[in-house]
Amino acid sequence: MKSVGRELTRVDAYGKVTGEARYTADLEPKGILHAKVLHSEIANGKVKSFDIAEAMKVPGVVKIVTCFDTPDCQFPTAGHPWSVEKAHQDICDRKILNERVRFYSDDIAAVVAEDEVAAARALKLIKVEYEEYEPIVTVEKALDAGATPLHEDIRKDNVIAHSHMIMGGPDFTFEKAVSEAEARFGKENIEVIDRTYDTPRISHCHLELPVSWAYVDANGKITITSSTQIPHIVRLCTAMALGVPAGRVRIIKPYIGGGFGNKQDVLYEPLNAFLSMQVGGRPVRLEISREETISCTRTRHAIEGRCRALFTKDGRLLARKLEAYANNGAYASHGHAICANCGTVFKDLYADEMGSEVDCITVYTSSPTAGAMRAYGIPQSVWFTECLTDDICAVTGEDPCDFRMKNCMREGFVDPGTKIPFITYGLKKCIEEGRRYIKWDEKRAAYKDQKGHIRRGVGMAIFCYKTGVYPISLETASCRMVLNQDGSMQLVMGATEIGQGADTVFTQMASETTGISCGNIYIVSTQDTDVTPFDTGAYASRQTYVSGKACKKCGELLKARILEYARYMLANEVSDISKTVYAETVREAKNRLKESFGITDDEDIKTELIDLEEDCIVMAKEGAAFSDRRLFALSVLADTAFHSLDRSQHITAEVTSHCKENTFASGCCFADIEVDMPLGKVTVKDIVNVHDSGILINPKLAEAQVHGGMSMGLGYGLSEELLIDEETGRPLNGNLLDYKIPTAMDTPKLHVKFIQLNDPSGPYGNKALGEPPAIPVAPAIRNAILNATGVAMNEAPMTAERLVKAFKEAKLI
Amino acid sequence: MKSVGRELTRVDAYGKVTGEARYTADLEPKGILHAKVLHSEIANGKVKSFDIAEAMKVPGVVKIVTCFDTPDCQFPTAGHPWSVEKAHQDICDRKILNERVRFYSDDIAAVVAEDEVAAARALKLIKVEYEEYEPIVTVEKALDAGATPLHEDIRKDNVIAHSHMIMGGPDFTFEKAVSEAEARFGKENIEVIDRTYDTPRISHCHLELPVSWAYVDANGKITITSSTQIPHIVRLCTAMALGVPAGRVRIIKPYIGGGFGNKQDVLYEPLNAFLSMQVGGRPVRLEISREETISCTRTRHAIEGRCRALFTKDGRLLARKLEAYANNGAYASHGHAICANCGTVFKDLYADEMGSEVDCITVYTSSPTAGAMRAYGIPQSVWFTECLTDDICAVTGEDPCDFRMKNCMREGFVDPGTKIPFITYGLKKCIEEGRRYIKWDEKRAAYKDQKGHIRRGVGMAIFCYKTGVYPISLETASCRMVLNQDGSMQLVMGATEIGQGADTVFTQMASETTGISCGNIYIVSTQDTDVTPFDTGAYASRQTYVSGKACKKCGELLKARILEYARYMLANEVSDISKTVYAETVREAKNRLKESFGITDDEDIKTELIDLEEDCIVMAKEGAAFSDRRLFALSVLADTAFHSLDRSQHITAEVTSHCKENTFASGCCFADIEVDMPLGKVTVKDIVNVHDSGILINPKLAEAQVHGGMSMGLGYGLSEELLIDEETGRPLNGNLLDYKIPTAMDTPKLHVKFIQLNDPSGPYGNKALGEPPAIPVAPAIRNAILNATGVAMNEAPMTAERLVKAFKEAKLI
């Protein structure tokens, strides 16, 4: 491959570095109005009334709307493809503004003003009277028999869903496995451990805040420019929220400053549109502050997992069981999908000899809504599996790396429920590569029997991750390509660049398939639902895989059309080519081609004999040098196709690719750390992620992708947690001063390795890479701490406070 | 037809009336820079040097560029499709700024500043030193043997082109015809007249001035938002002017406030792009003032025609000859095409028994550049033919209406040169209709032998007009249609709405062909060369005809794809439809359809049995009521097609239609006027245009189109003329105070009639209407003045000054 695999500089690099690239806020028109949202100051209850009299007196205030003014339409917010099957439709449990308050900071009213200051001043003057219920912030409280149902209109309790999955036969239960194992191996030869691991509620911390601006044109068409990962889905859900047909809504997505799944939800677009409708269609902007983003948009699910494992003392993994409780917060958003995903990987990642069992429960609570976040339930899942595995090894005394090599998911694995296959199996190669890189065996030996307050340890964690969402959900993507007058190409993807480098890899894919050089491909980065082909958007690790297939299919079609036009130009009977400025060029090319293939003068040239390469029409002759095969420049063909008096043709191609394939990616993290026990401080001395992600489209971008994920993993493991007061439901650290994401100062040098196996299901041998890097880092560090100190931390993040407490309990300090 | 022929309210009416519709200037970003152009203060010569030192000191000035800084690329400006045939390529005779000054106001330098005032102040401080030559403002002077060639680099004299056309056999000459007629009819039975008619240089006077703004992104891509009729051609010509590939240039055309052909030229877009490139890509706006628009953009050609006619005394038209001299001004722009068009219609409009002869010469002069303007040379041509015809009748004493009925172009006429046929012939029906409406015969009788200073008269004029530009030039158009999630459609035309109502008629056409209702069709009005399919743009009277064919072809394809999906939904073996929320609806529809057509349960349903009508899938069963034929809503299909887990398909269609047809439209104007001879004042008491334009897509818009054209014709006949001082080349009335367009106060009630014949070459039976209304009004008034006073005015406009002079010469006052 020529373009795929190249370290092409990001196509948006210069624009982003120079500040020229235009984001949502850069595109706002003059005279735009400013909106601010009023959030509830109770966590559970009902708005009884508003007094807006004082607020309306603030000069510059144009309009105040409350939850009593918004349409009575319930809508879903999850950035899934909508489904025409009832069972797959997302839960419609939210209104544009909510009279029924379900968490501290629920949206209850909004102010539109000529400027931000007026809007902010008015917000403070609105008086609200509530009917208050007891906050139910924890899963435990929400599952209490007497708990208020948060969504009494659609659910009689607070359980969103409960699912049960097993491997090991239809009758498998963990308890039965234990009895059977006792009989088979003897009670003395087996062990059962039962641990509960906990994961935090965290914030996505994307750079650009959720911002949108909307206007309504004189025909009633609503246009929203928004920083979203999923423009086409925002279109549909906004229409549902407003009770208008989808064709009336247009979403424009310019460059966006990250999303990590938070913008895979419909956030404030429906409210923004509604506010514009209330002020005669005038443009209204709605930018959510960092504090609102943390508390009022989405979080990663805090999932608690009770994990049990059954194994032989000599290290055969027999069975495991997970009971997972996901705190979904106030609204369903992605609902149970995330906790179910967590459960699926728990059972898939190891080849339990007897079987495994998973119970997943997703629960409404009066806390911030959890939604999609990079790796969608799997950081939690892998926290469970990888803590559990090292805890097993702590019992058996076996090397955790050896244990995993023996017991991890096998080559040829196919998920029995989803039928997703592990097509190219790089997992064990990754483990071997990481083990070698970190010098595992030397270090495990060296770090034995340490004394003192500062100790070293190495730890590891593995993971698997599916690539797209098929067959759980629809995977569809579209692409349009247009040949320009100069032989360059416009590439229009429904898939969205959200900072991850999608535009660059699609450019490389389009080049690879068509033979048009990357420099001559102009990707249209902005998605505009008025003209951009349909794609569900940037989520899962789907775009290079699913949308990549659309790009490839479209490229093949465009190329076929170009070659067909070339054949026409080279045909014997073309009246106008001979009159054009290219007559001599084409005649000469035809002669060389006929001579080269031994074609007689009365034979026409078939498309099989020609190809498109390096922006030129060439002879399809293997082995010959490019210069000998070159016939004429694509620009000659393009100019002719546009302007020919005989056959003018605007050569374009547009396809939908409905993807009905999926494949597992996998990998691992190895970390070498130092623990200062009295300080509760963990210093990462060396760390490497090794990924089995198929062929890399752009190794430089792939590495950057992994860096970002590892950094996220460090925060997940060591510092990040959004704390909610259990009594009041108030966020305790809902700002970037108190909520701790790793800074550059906290981040060690990050190492990345790849095992590149050509996955035949991927358009270019590629499979998931977008999300996986964030998965294994936290448990690898946890296991390194265990190695260093013998202390098993069951709760992430492993903050200084928790570490010191644990070390004290272990009497190490 | 259901949608075609309806008086649908303009789709952009509300937006334009409320001010919500966004034009070029409405889209400018914050912090944009302002540019102003320095124009030469000599009419012929060369810039020797600039002194910009003082100008650069003005606070806020960012950059000054002069003709010595611009690229040495010559480019064409005509809004023709570019040609790959040398002979058809437009003349490249202009640079972004010109050192060689060729008319008074040539572009020689430009200032970019933070605000308009700074730019204007700096402009005044630039000192220029010239080498001056004698201005050659008139055709006569330019053709002088000793005249300086204005384009010495590409032409040794000032003749752009000279063409000679004849009808009546290869050896026909007017002189030979006269000799032959003398022999055949006897010298005493024939007459020859020889008259010279003159037409003015006029300004388009579109409401919105030429305005554009440009920026260059960090990858070097140049984006220009411009008020242009021809975005795709501006893209190509701007690339030529800057010496960059076309793919590097992106043109965005929002709503525009008229163009009338002036914006069918590449005006200031290349300079604007160049200026942005000179300031690091920052956005720069360049709005041309009204005065600059009049003097520095384009004008209608002043063409002088020496016309001779040979006829029998009893009114048989034997032969005519035209010698036309077109003053093209300083740059070629559309070049000779306009004068040649003028000549073609001169010979086509009458069926001279022996033949006709035309000599057309187009000449560079040092005066404002003439270019395209509504009806492209035909107002001049018809001024010649229709003055001549009434002057013939003045000699023979025959009724001009009768003379035309006998001698005008015949049914079945085919132009011998272009082979354009007059397919549906409405010309004589138009004459009859106009004659009846104006009460011609009664009034001609009543207005005989008037005395006194105030007299009445009726006059008429006829015309013919071809529809597109085939086969003289390429006619190609593209269209893309996209089915939305709710069954509505995005309609994306390469063709441009420029105020004429194109978006509305395309909406009707798309509705007619697909069966999707007009209210569910969202036309994308803005053309953006990055994503909009290729079309050469709004000019000629081509769009409803040429682009209409693309719309129809695309609609047929989209509909076929929708029906194919409907067939799939109705097929026996579809696993997922039965699981969807539409299962019952589709099952019930299938049963009704099978029953209705007597299809057995194991037979599948063929697409021929279904159709799309009123946003519904229906049975294709003639005669049955809609309610009986209705199967299910298109929205059901659209939702399924987007989201089906079995077959997700983004249903779209995109086509190019290469049009190789053309047809004549025709019509006439009848005017009843009153002349106040001492005041030289003409009052139009009644006026009607009758048009043979095939089937009207939207009668209300068609009428409005004719109103606008008639108003333009009134100005052409009575008041409009851009005067240039012959000594200095300076415009004498280059502003809207001194240049007189008709105001509402000057405009009588305008009447319009149509003869609707279904032209089989038009996509919906339609043919030219955009330009024709402007053609016949001026000569009809001239002939009415002749009828009222016996005075034949040979020069347009017939201003009070000219009329009083003529009446004095005729001793009427």
Chain-centroid distance, C-alpha A743: 22
Cross-chain Cβ contact A482/B245 below 8 Å: no
Confidence of residue B352 (pLDDT cuts 50, 70, 90): very high
Q: Across the interface, do B652 and A654 touch by the CB < 8 Å criterion?
A: yes
State the pLDDT at residue B576: 79
B574 pLDDT higher than 80: no
* Residue at A327 is within a domain: yes
B690 and B795 in a common domain = yes
Closest by alpha carbon to B112, among B14, B190, B34?
B34
Main-chain dihedrals φ then ψ at residue A305, nearest 5 degrees: -125, 120
Which chain B residue is nearest to residue A644, measuring alpha carbons?
B84
Same domain, B444 and B329: yes
Residues A621 and A670 in one domain: no
> Does B102 score more than 90 pLDDT?
yes
B378: left (phi over 0), alpha (psi -120 to 50) or beta: alpha
Out of B15, B522, B579, the one facing A85 most closely (by C-beta) is: B579
Rounded distance between C-alpha atoms, residue B386 and residue B780, angstroms: 8
CB-CB contact of B457 with B787 (8 Å): yes
The verdict on B419 touching A (C-beta cutoff 8 Å) is no
Domain assignment present for residue A292? The answer is no
* In a domain? residue A142: no
Predicted confidence at residue A351, as pLDDT, reads 98
Kindly determine whether residue A640 and residue B14, on different chains, have CB atoms separated by under 8 Å: no
Show Cβ contacts of residue A565 under 8 Å, excluding neighbours closer than 6 positions.
Answer: A637, A640, A641, A647, A649, A651
Q: Which residue, of B658, B680, B709, is where some domain finishes?
A: B658
Calpha distance B213→B225 (Å, rounded): 5
The answer to whether position A443 is within a domain reads yes
Considering chain B, what percentage of its residues have pLDDT values greater than 90?
Answer: 96
How distant, in Å, are the alpha carbons of B83, B289, B326, B369 from that of B201? 29, 19, 10, 10
Put simply, the chain B residues between 277 and 296 with a CB less than 8 A from any chain A CB are 281
Which residues, numbered 460 to 519 in chain B, qualify as contacts with chain A under a Cβ-Cβ cut-off of 8 Å?
471, 474, 476, 478, 480, 482, 484-490, 492, 494
> Distance (Å) from the C-alpha of residue B29 to the closest C-alpha of chain A?
7
Residues A257-266 have pLDDT tens digits of 999 999 999 9
Both structure tokens of B16: 């334009």
Work out the percent of chain A whose per-residue pLDDT is above 70.
100
Instruction: Check which CATH number belongs to the domain holding A263 and give it.
Output: 3.90.1170.50
Kindly state the tokens that stand for A327: 């705190």
Both A245 and A383 in one domain: the answer is: no
**Domain with A587 in it:** 476-658
Instruction: State which of B639, B658, B677 marks the end of a domain.
Output: B658
pLDDT at residue A656, as a whole number: 97
Residue A604's pLDDT band (boundaries 50, 70, 90)?
A: confident
- Residue A80: pLDDT band (50, 70, 90) is confident
Check residue A724 and report its DSSP letter: B
Instruction: Check if A639 contacts B (Cβ < 8 Å).
Output: yes
Task: Work out the pLDDT band at A161, boundaries 50, 70, 90.
Answer: very high
Express each pLDDT in B24-62 by its tens digit.
999 999 899 999 999 999 999 999 999 999 999 999 999
For residue A15, what are the CA distances in angstroms to B167, B224, B285, B549?
A: 61, 17, 21, 40
Residue B149, in any domain of the structure: no
A8 found inside a domain: no
B681 pLDDT tier (thresholds 50, 70, 90) = very high
- Whether B184 and B237 map to the same domain: the answer is no
What is the rounded distance in angstroms from the CA atom of residue B619 to the CA atom of residue B611?
A: 6
Give A88's pLDDT tier (boundaries 50, 70, 90): confident
Residue A81 has pLDDT above 90, yes or no: no
| B572, pLDDT greater than 90 | no
In chain B, the N- to C-terminal Cα span, in Å, equals 57
Chain B, 84-103: which have a CB under 8 Å from a chain A CB? 84-87
CB contact under 8 A, A531 and B30: no
Please tell me whether residues B512 and B586 are part of one structural domain.
yes
Interface of A with B in 529-548 (CB under 8 A): 530-534
- For residue B711, name the pLDDT band (cuts at 50, 70, 90): very high
| Contact flag A21-B218 (C-beta cutoff 8 Å) | yes
Q: Which of A85, A221, A643 sits opposite B474 (nearest CB)?
A: A643
Mutation for A interface: B14, B30, B84, most A CBs within 10 A: B84
Which residues 6+ apart lie within 8 Å of B516 measured at CB? Answer: B487, B488, B489, B510, B612, B615, B634
A vs B, Cβ pairs < 8 A, gives 187
* pLDDT confidence of residue A709: 98
Residue A140 tokens read as: 């435990």
Residue A187 has pLDDT above 80, yes or no: yes
The pLDDT tens digits for A455-486 are 999 999 999 999 999 999 999 999 999 999 99
One-letter identity of residue A780: A
Sort strands A222-226 and A249-253 into parallel, antiparallel or unpaired.
parallel
- By Cβ distance, the residue of A15, A487, A492 closest to B531 is A492
**Residue keyed to tokens 């002020």:** A279
Tell which residue, A332, A286, A278, A296, has the closest CA to residue A71: A278
Write the DSSP symbol of residue B540.
T
Does residue B351 have a pLDDT over 90?
yes
Whole-number Å distance between alpha carbons of B330 and B149: 11
Residue in B550, B547, B527 with CA at minimum distance from that of residue B228: B527
Question: In chain A, pLDDT over 90 holds for what percent of residues?
Answer: 96
Say whether B482 and A533 touch across the interface (CB within 8 A): yes
> Average pLDDT of chain B?
97
The answer to whether residues A222 and A196 belong to one domain is no
| Structure-block tokens of residue A433 | 């590569």
The average confidence (pLDDT) of chain A is 97
For B773-788, how does the pLDDT look when each residue is reduced to its tens digit (9 = 90+)?
A: 999 999 999 999 999 9
Residue A577 is predicted with a pLDDT of 86
Q: Do A247 and B485 touch (CB under 8 A)?
A: yes
**3-class DSSP string for A606-651:** CHHHEEEECCEEEECCCCCCHHHHEEEEHHHHHHHHHHCCCCCCCC
Residue of A nearest to B532 (CA): A531
DSSP B731: B
Distance CA A102, CA A105 (A): 9
pLDDT tens, residue by residue, A549-561 = 999 999 999 999 9
Judged against a pLDDT cut of 80, whether residue A575 lies above it is answered with no
- Token code pair at residue A620: 């399809």
The H-assigned helical ranges of B88-127 are 116-125
Total of domains in chain A: 3
pLDDT at B492: 98
Tell me how far apart the alpha carbons of residues B356 and B334 are, in angstroms, rounded to a whole number. Answer: 25
Tell me the per-residue pLDDT of A353-371, one tens digit each, with 9 for 90 and over: 999 999 999 999 999 999 9
Contacts with A656 from chain B: Cβ below 8 Å: 648-650
What integer is the mean pLDDT of A675-698?
98
Here the ipTM equals 0.96
Say yes or no: B627 and B597 in one domain: yes
A422 and A448, same domain (yes or no): yes
Chain A residues inside the 8 Å CB shell of B488 = 245-248
pTM across the whole model: 0.97
A485 occurs within a structural domain: yes
Q: How far is B576 from chain A (nearest CA, A)?
A: 9
Chain-chain contact of A488 with B245 (C-beta, under 8 angstroms): yes
Q: Is the pLDDT of residue A572 over 80?
A: no
- At A723-776, the pLDDT tens digits run 999 999 999 999 999 999 999 999 999 999 999 999 999 999 999 999 999 999
Q: Residue B719's domain is classified under what CATH number?
A: 3.30.365.10
Does A222 score more than 80 pLDDT? yes
Residue A155 falls inside a structural domain:
no
Average pLDDT over residues B381-386: 98
* Residue B575 and residue B668 in one domain: no
Q: What is the C-alpha separation between B614 and B672, in angstroms, rounded?
A: 46
- Find which of A484, A491, A535, A569 to mutate to test the B interface (most B CBs within 10 Å of its CB): A484
Q: Are residues B360 and B393 in the same domain?
A: yes
Q: Which residue has the tokens 């090894």?
A: A393
**pLDDT at residue B470 is higher than 80:** yes
Q: What per-residue confidence (pLDDT) applies to B573?
A: 73
In a 3-state reduction of DSSP, which class is residue A507? helix
Q: Report residue B81: phi and psi, to 5°.
A: -60, 135
Residues B176 and B218 grouped into a single domain: no
